[in-house]
Amino acid sequence: LDTETTGISVKEGHRIVEIGCIELDNLIPTKNKFHCYLNPERKVSEKALEVHGYTDDFLASQKKFSDIGEQFLEFIKEATLVGHHVDFDIEMINQGLARLGVGKLKNEFMDTEVMYQKLNYLPQEQHSSLDELCDIYKIRKSDRHTASGDAFLTAQLFLKLKKKLEI
């Protein structure tokens, strides 16, 4: 799972502009994916634009979270969701669900950064980016800073970390 957003603060009203999620079945990526660009109904911050490149003009013609919220919930059902810094993605998704009057996600979550910290006995304060971990585990990076691309990289990283942690 990965999202791209208008900025980094839910408290400041930032919202999702892209969601990407791929399915793993018995630890094998399937062709089953969820992806969409979203009209956040607000401006994209300059910093976010530098990261993902999605302009206000491009996003204005996309569906709104209210158009895809139920479809996304149907896709993830009761699956365990895996992300890198996944708390951020979940907070953004929960904000969108709250605007729909739907409760928070009840899914279990796994964070590849937390898995890496456990594997290397690192303190939780020591953060590693998805780029850094892809370099460490020799995962070829493509489509960085797109939700689908980052979801795919996160899935590959998760599989490598899971194997090392034997969980």
Task: Supply the residues annotated as catalytic.
Answer: 145
Specify the 3-state DSSP secondary structure of 147: helix
Nearest-angstrom CA–CA distance, 15 and 3: 10
Half-sphere exposure of 71 (CA within 13 A, CB side): 13
CA distances in angstroms from 39 to 97, 126, 145, listed in the order given: 15, 34, 17
Pairing of strands 81-83, 109-111: parallel
From residue 23, alpha-carbon distances to 42, 101, 103, 154 in Å are 30, 26, 23, 12
Report d(CA 119, CA 96) in Å as an integer: 33
* Residue 30 phi, psi (nearest 5): -100, 180
